[in-house]
Chains A and B, each alone.
Chain A
Amino acid sequence: MNDLHRLIVNKEHHQYRHTVAWNLAEEYRERGLSPIERMSDRFFRMCSEERAVILEGEQTVFMRTVANIPDIFTEDEWREIKAHHYIHELGYMSNLSPNYYGAISVGLLKKREDADEYGKKAIDAVISLSDKYLEEAKRIGREDIVRVLTRVPRYPAESFREALQFFRILHFALWLEGNYHVTVGRFDKYMYPYLKADIEKGILDEASALALVEDFFLSFNKDSDLYVGVQQGDNGQSLMLGGVDEDGDEIYNLLTRLSLEAAYHNKMIDPKINLRVSKKTPLERFAEATELTRAGLGFPQYSNDDVVIPALERLGYEHKDAANYTVAACWEFIVPFVGADVANIGALSYPKAVDTAFYRHLSHCQSYGEFFSAVKREIEKQAASICDGIKDLWFIPSPFMNVLMDCEIYGGGKYNNFGIHGTGIATAADSLAAIKKYVFEEKCVSAEALICAVKGDFEGAPELFHKLRYDAPKLGNNDDYVDSIAIRLLDCFANALSGKRNCRGGVFRAGTGSAMYYLWHADEIGASADGRRRGEPFGTNYSVSLFARVKGPVSVIGSMTKQHFLNAINGGPLTLEFHSSVFSDTDGVEKVGALVKRFVELGGHQLQVNTVNREQLIDAQRYPERYRQLVVRIWGWSAYFVELDREYQDHVIARQAYTL
């Protein structure tokens, strides 16, 4: 850890921050400004208020000194807007992948020529702010920074360092404008040409390039505490590596490797590393990537090109856009530059569908088939209700974001699809398997008795509870009995969305993610027929149930790669968790890498591999001060364990670890 790293870890740079107490909303209301005029004005003022601070030893400059961003609408106005429109989360269009390269390669002055009046004003504000940094660099005698900022962001970057600095300015400005979950995109695709040129010219060698990437990656952690989502760490700074280009040629270059290494060295939660892989990816790359897993940061997260690209094409994405996919804040598949999808607009709860059918229909169903049809109808009803509930969606327009996208996104981008998560598939499949086996096949428990036990949270039914929870078939054992139920559930969900059009003219995409709904949806129902007690959460994303006893990671992969992801590609990974000791030698690392490769070959769509050490986590709950740097993966992002709320901490501890 160098001094800069230590300073950021210890949050010493927070001393340069201040807050502003402006009542912009009231002023804008009085002046009668339109939403875009307000956004434009606020961005200008934020840029003016920011001051230039250059930390000792840093190469990539720009960090936030204004901690808060005042609202642009008064509460009454916001209520009025919400009365007429569907507002997604905070109201901004998030989870976008802007075209940074499009600006880095021509310079902001050139971008300014084609921008509208708001775009021009935003660009001017960014340049003025950059000039403050230039002056500061001159004042403290940092000639290297002076040289960089004399060129960028006005003019195109001519070196790797200038390109990284240019990126930082753009990314910083997008957050400052109020946008959130601003992703990084395919970093080793668009940045590599700059690195390659510098290496060829002899300006950089591998070691100096690595140092630059490490410094650049550190910059993602300077302001990330201000980018809070549902929990600290949920900030969407996802970076994609690898994958094929539109001609099917694989990208895996020096920058791919340096990025993996830099993330390993930095051991910080940002940027969040993703890796695109396919059947063609050689085994040794999986081993290289697993080295990063070993760092315990919960990444890289893998996405399978063989599945994702054709599945996106089926949804109507052009090949060149599908082939260029990246991930949103967590794992939702999005296309850069032209995609205006809202990949996380809602979530379906499979257990809720089973629960409703269970209480309303089970007692008069003659067969399992009949009961499953009732569940299917509930899935369709829920899907229809989610889709129909989203009308007149409106976004706060962000002028600078618009500058960096290749099409006008607020009026409707090239793609305007909505993604719906699917929560608790294992809880639902396990419940259905238990019902099928015990009520309809073995007939060892009547529908009434089962309903009564589940309703009463298994009070007074210890033997039935034990049977349901520990003896019944569970998803994750490569057992077709349950796996086939999960296949049908996912198909039902995908079919229920198929053919529906959303209010922006796009389609709906079925997903396998859960986001925070694994806790929220679990609270909506009581106990379930899989032996889950009232109040127990579901697994995250596309996972087996928390208490399922499974044979091991191989069987889990067997169970979780059988489903038809070509019809359900909004994203959401299978999570495999290994005890940290598995990674203690290269043999373990290579074996985990080989398992990941096999997952890809078997047609799995997305995978997250975590290292956990239960004893350490429990100790960290007791002595948080000793574990400030302990990182865990939550549902699509990594976080510092001790900064999480207790319920998220407990879930991480409860999750299945295959202690090998």
Chain B
Amino acid sequence: MANDRMIEIRWHGRGGQGAKTAALLFAEAVLSTGKYVQAFPEYGPERMGAPVQSFNRISEQPITLHCAITEPSFVVVLDPTLMDSVPVVEGLRKDGKVIVNTQFSAKEIAAKLKVSSDKVFVVNASKIAMDTIGLNIPNTPMLGALVKVIGDLDIEGVLKDTRHKLEQKFRHKPQVIDGNLESIKRAYNEVQSEQAVAAKNA
């Protein structure tokens, strides 16, 4: 089935947190690394704070699938409170990974989501965003965390492309560009699994 051929990603956020923007930015950044991409949001009732989803597909080959993603290889959770109300790991593939913006450990999140801890990666993207951008907008740092967890994407290429995109979007607010890029780098370096923690402590 198609699942074996490509990476499929599901973003969970709340209306206004930038789940859609993150998926679009991520797609453009991945295109710059030479892969085929799709990014699409799930459009439901649109209001601030409501649970929303967006999606990405990445492949070495042209992507012709245009159906929903129900068995993601990666799930990104922008808002940890969603774990109380939305089944964020639903359909996650056997070898799938979930990346959560949280201050808790991978072990604690794994227990909460009732999945094995080797599936879980955590990063405090909200804190990173506060430190680097000055606002709690965790979508850009989560891009960095996702690039790290996927593994075979070139972070330098992603940073370069994102800088280019942000320079176009924020040409009147250049101060936010460096902060956003710093947030991606920090999340890339700080995202961790339980295994990484165990290895460090050993």
Do A and B form a real pair? no
Give B residues with C-beta under 8 Å from A: none
Give A residues with C-beta under 8 Å from B: none
